[in-house]
Amino acid sequence: MKPFLYTLFFLSTFGLHAQNSIIYSDVAQDLLENIIDKKPYSKKVQILSKSTLKDLVTELQTDNQKIAFWVNIYNAFIQISLTENPKEYENRSAFFGKKRVEIAGEILSFDDIEHGILRKSRMKISLGYLRKWFRQKWERKLRIDNDIDWRIHFALNCGAKSCPPIAIYDAKNLDKQFDFMTTTYLKEQTSYNQDTKTANAVALFSWFRGDFGGLCGAKKILFEYKITPEKPKNIDFKSYDWTLSLGNFKTLPSF
């Protein structure tokens, strides 16, 4: 009888452990991969909806883990939401502000993810310079710890034609992946007038200029990432094309 009880105890303990061993970063990657491959993804959404604040705080220890996870979540649910109801994009302010992503025991908006978690509680309309006064518990627990990684702006896809393409990110290779996507996107979006030393660049540099270290920081980035042959003296901004454009995916090289 005792061996049977020991076996039963072992199996029940193992089963309980298995139930609690979900790696949510992997689920987020799988969700986005299924969307890209046009495979069913509802089970992944369901798993994420049952996650708790404690689950994610325990798993996402570093900023790279947090950033890779939340960028994948953001990009995945943008595709889901706009595929299901593209008319929502006619009122973009309402679209980004609507609570829709069920995760960590909360229902979050895209603004919550971008400005609360990834931009460390920045106000949406402040050019990146002002922090929010009131920050909820989940935001304080889940947001990045260090300074904003400005490269997120070249990884987040908001569904518009001018948005950066979507890739699947992982914490281990995030720096190389972000540098690759930043360089690729900026090369596509930037032109340079050698005579006037003026860069014509993406409007994201203007909208979130505080994240980039001001306009001087944006000019420095263009030069350091070899987008322009020298540090521009002037920088102009292209009009952003908000035409709805889904399915803009890009495969990252192996690093």
Tens-digit pLDDT profile for residues 135-147? 999 999 999 999 9
Provide, rounded to the nearest whole percent, the portion of the chain with pLDDT above 70. Answer: 92
Q: Is the pLDDT at 8 greater than 50, yes or no? A: no
Average pLDDT of 94-102?
98
Count Cα neighbours of 78 within 13 Å in the Cβ-side half-sphere.
Answer: 30
For residue 215, what is the enclosing H or E element? helix 214-224
Mean pLDDT estimate for the chain? 93
Least-confidence region, from 13-27, 48-62, 101-115, 137-151? 13-27
The predicted pLDDT at position 5 comes to 43
The predicted pLDDT at position 203 comes to 97
Question: pLDDT band at residue 165, thresholds of 50, 70 and 90?
Answer: very high
For residue 199, what is the enclosing H or E element? strand 198-201
Tens-digit pLDDT profile for residues 187-231? 999 999 999 999 999 999 999 999 999 999 999 999 999 999 999
Q: Is the pLDDT at 14 greater than 90, yes or no? A: no
The predicted pLDDT at position 173 comes to 98
- How far is residue 131's CA from residue 70's CA, in Å, rounded to a whole number? 20
pTM above 0.95, yes or no: no
Contacts 24+ apart (CB under 8 A), 121-127: 122/148, 122/210, 122/211, 126/210, 127/206, 127/207, 127/208, 127/209, 127/210
The two structure tokens encoding residue 140: 């304080």
Length of the chain: 255
The predicted pLDDT at position 20 comes to 58
Pair 88, 180: CB distance under 8 Å: no
Tens-digit pLDDT profile for residues 107-145? 999 999 999 999 999 999 999 999 998 899 999 999 999
b vs e for 213-222, b when ≥16 Cβ sit within 10 Å of the residue's Cβ?
Answer: eeeeebbebb
Count Cα neighbours of 138 within 13 Å in the Cβ-side half-sphere.
Answer: 16
The predicted pLDDT at position 17 comes to 42
